[in-house]
Structure 1
Amino acid sequence: MTGHTSGGPPFSVSLVIFDIDGTLVDFSRAIDGGLAVVAREVSRRAGGVEVDPRRLQTMRNEVVRDPAWRGRQLVAIRRESFRRILEAFAIEEPGALDELHDRYYRARDEAMAVFPDVEPVLAGLRARRLALVAASNGNVSLAAMGLDGYFAATHYAEEVGISKPDPAFFASAVERMGGRPETTLAIGDRLDNDYHPARAAGLHAVFLDRADRVEDASILRVRSLSELPALLVDG
């Protein structure tokens, strides 16, 4: 554990909100695996031209920034990025877009893995009778990852109509669970999407810094989820 603000741990809580991508599952590796498959398929259809997987992610980010696509579902955004890459390589084969879309999600899901520190921590917190919520802007299935049994509820942006980094995303999760901000803690791997908006909503917050990349004494951070239970007192 590194750094904390006034009113720091241990926190008396009854509800813990977990981010999913990058916190519970290794999402970056999964995305890389999916994009590598798509890049190879585009290359094959384009006659062997080299396709950099990073270009695919850049194109996806361009769709996200496109005002016409603001607020759209992430699956639709990813599909549009594939449509644009096919257009860029002048690939007009029937069914190509559906094929890329399906191959990406199959490869992504096959490459996705739960971090080793996750299940022991979730099991321990459940044994302490804390309510756990998984909250995400994404669409990873907890059931597919074998994690659904640990959580009292899920809170997906596409379902509730609010997304991170809006503090209302966290406030609505607390409200849905009948909790109180002052007895709720949120943990995630992004300062912009998790730590700061949770704090703005009045929750306690912990930044999961697996790569040890942030040096800021004002940020309460841990490098592993295994450090989290020691920060909590059952509320």
Structure 2
Amino acid sequence: MLALGKIKAITLDLDDTLWPIWPTIERAEKVLLEWLSAHAPMTSALFANPAALRDIRAEMTSSRPDLKHDMSALRLESIRLALTRAGDDPQLAEPAFEAFFAERQRVTLFDDVLPALEFLAERFPLVALSNGNADVQRVGLGRFFRASVCARDFGVGKPDPRIFHAAAGAVDTMPEFILHVGDDVTLDALGALNAGMQAAWVNRSDAIWPHEQEPHVTLTHLGELKDLFAGE
């Protein structure tokens, strides 16, 4: 059971908790391909081949394990590798990535998100806690968050307890007084539990909880969290 009275701060996952991620990525990859088509047509042809793209990503992941927590750097270096292999100028990687990255920040929030954030931010310090590369300022949600902690900057990602503890430290609060809210059963909910936090699992798809240790509360949307605090 959720101990509402203990909560002094809330950490929130971003991708698939506040917005659906794959429509966003698909749009951003389309923009990237259009940019490459205009500026690096040989690379555009290479990226248009799914098998070649998978090979490039797989090679980059295996050859640069140091980038496994930095989605931006991994994407940038994959583009650079594709440019090099296609015979285009590898210096085009930075502007190509920026075309992708700018579109990646254009997210479509779930309908329940804005009312919930407005309600929660008036009552608690909120911290964005993500393994991805969304920027809460660029997506237009910066006003709600006291801090943002991401795997790219911190060096390790969820479910490592250290990144949860870093998020707690960002608002000078002990983990036991924090509620973490996220959609991933292992990275978010189980990670938060193992870090000593309360955990709210956002289950928008009626999935089955797979672990023996259960979250403190399961939500089908963030409006339910708002209702819980409003009824306290």
TM-score range, shorter chain: 0.7 to 0.9
Please show how residues 77-226 of structure 1 align to structure 2 within 5 Å: 77-88=74-85, 90-93=86-89, 95-110=91-106, 112-127=107-122, 129-216=123-210, 218-219=214-215, 220-226=217-223
In structure 2, give the amino acid aligned to 1:223. T
Two-structure CA RMSD over aligned residues (Å): 3.1
- State the shift of 1:10 in Å: 4.8
CA contact (8 A) 2:69 2:155 kept: no
Residues 127-186 of structure 1: CA deviation (Å, up to 9, x unaligned): 3x2221111223322222221111222222333343222111112221332212222110
With the length of structure 1 as denominator, give the TM-score of the two structures: 0.79
CA distance in 1, matches of 2:43, 2:3: 59
Deviations 1:32-75 (A, max 9, x none): 11112333455671398481568646744553343543456332
Q: C-alpha distance in 1, partners of 2:44/2:135?
A: 34
Matched residues in 2 for 1:54 and 1:22: separation? 26
For the structure 1 residues 203 and 26, does the alpha-carbon distance in structure 2 shift closer, same or farther, using more than 3 Å as the test?
A: same
Paired amino acid for 2:75: R
Name 2:2's counterpart in structure 1: 9
Q: Structure 2 CA distance, aligned partners of 1:61 and 1:10?
A: 43
Aligned to 1:5: none
Q: Is there any run of 5+ residues in structure 2 with no aligned partner, and where?
A: none
Offset at residue 216 of structure 1 (A)? 4.8
- The 3-state SS of whatever aligns with 1:141 is coil
Check conservation: 2:19, 2:108, Cα contact below 8 A: yes
CA contact (8 A) 2:70 2:151 kept: no
Contact 2:77/2:93, CA 8 A, preserved across alignment: no
For the structure 1 residues 221 and 57, does the alpha-carbon distance in structure 2 shift closer, same or farther, using more than 3 Å as the test?
A: farther
Is the contact between residue 11 and residue 126 of structure 2 (CA under 8 Å) also seen in structure 1?
yes
Query: Percent of aligned pairs with the same residue?
Result: 28
User: Any unmatched runs of 5+ in structure 1?
Assistant: 1-7
TM-superposed deviation, 1:202: 0.7
The aligned amino acid for 1:119 is L
Structure 2 vs 1, CA of residues 180 and 61 (structure 1 numbering), >3 Å: closer, same or farther? farther
- TM-score, L = length of structure 2: 0.80
Q: 1:49 to 1:148 in 2, by over 3 A?
A: closer
Amino acid at match of 2:60: V
Alignment of 1:65-80 (within 5 A): 65-70=62-67, 73-80=70-77
- Report if the CA contact (8 A) 1:11-1:233 is conserved: no
Hey, what's the Cα distance between the residues in 1 that align with 2:125 and 2:114? Answer: 15
Contact 1:10 1:230 in 2 (8 A): no
How has the CA–CA distance of structure 1 residues 197 and 100 changed in structure 2, closer, same or farther, with 3 Å as cutoff? same
Q: RCO (CA 8 Å, sep 6+): is it higher in 1 or 2?
A: 1
Aligned length: 225
The structure-2 alpha-carbon separation of the partners of 1:120 and 1:48, relative to structure 1 and needing over 3 Å to count, comes to closer
